[in-house]
Amino acid sequence: MDQPDIVVVDKGQRTAVVVDKGQRTAVVVDKGQRTAVVVDKGQRTAVVVDKGQRTAVVVDKGQRTVVVVDKGQRTAVVVDKGQSTAVVVDKGQKTAVVVDKGQRTVVVVDKGQRTAVVVDKGQRTAVVVDKGQRTVVVVDKGQRTAVVVDKGQRTAVVVDKGQRTAVVVDKGQRTAVVVDKGQRTAVVVDKGQRTAVVVDKGQRTVVVVDKGQRTAVVVDVAIPSDGNIRKKRT
């Protein structure tokens, strides 16, 4: 077997070392404020670069890759181990983290007043976004989905669990709620002086509408055998 090659060069402020031993190769270069190291051992490769305020590290061992970059106020880290990937980026007031392990993905982004988080574990997904006065949350676990949106005076929530769906929207003076559980559906809408509620449970339907001085209520208790729908209106 050949002897490993070792080369050391010092020219001013630069030093370079190359070592090759079997399947390993190492290179270190320092020029002023920069340092670079490359190591390859079988399936592993590591690179570190530091130039001023920047540092980069890449490590690949089998299915794992790690990258770290720091330039001023930015830091990036990527980790891939089998099915797991993590990325962290911080630039000024922004931070992003992505983690994927199997069926899970997590993303966090904070830029000024905005924060976003996404979590996916199996059948669950959660997203939270806050930009100024807006917040969005989405959660999906099995058959359930929840969404909350707050923008100024508006709030929206959607929940789906099995056969149930609920939606709440508040924009200024308007509020809407929809709930569907099996055969029941409820809707409430309030816009200024108007309020509407619809509830359907089995064969019953209730509608209330108030607009100014008008109020309407429709109740259908059941569908008679003759097919006529009895309604009571007040």
pLDDT-above-70 percentage for the chain: 0
Could you tell me the pTM of the whole model?
Answer: 0.17
The C-alpha atoms of residue 151 and residue 25 are separated, in whole angstroms, by 56
The C-alpha atoms of residue 234 and residue 230 are separated, in whole angstroms, by 14
Model pLDDT for residues 114-138, shown as the tens digit of each residue:
444 444 444 444 444 444 444 444 4
Model pLDDT for residues 65-77, shown as the tens digit of each residue:
444 444 444 444 4
In this prediction, residues 137-149 reach a mean pLDDT of: 44
Q: What is the reported pLDDT for 124?
A: 43
Domain boundaries defined on the chain: 183-234
The C-alpha atoms of residue 124 and residue 102 are separated, in whole angstroms, by 13
Q: Residue with structure tokens 């980790």?
A: 79
Q: Residue with structure tokens 């339907």?
A: 205
For 122, the token pair is 């199996």
Model pLDDT for residues 10-56, shown as the tens digit of each residue:
444 444 444 444 444 444 444 444 444 444 444 444 444 444 444 44
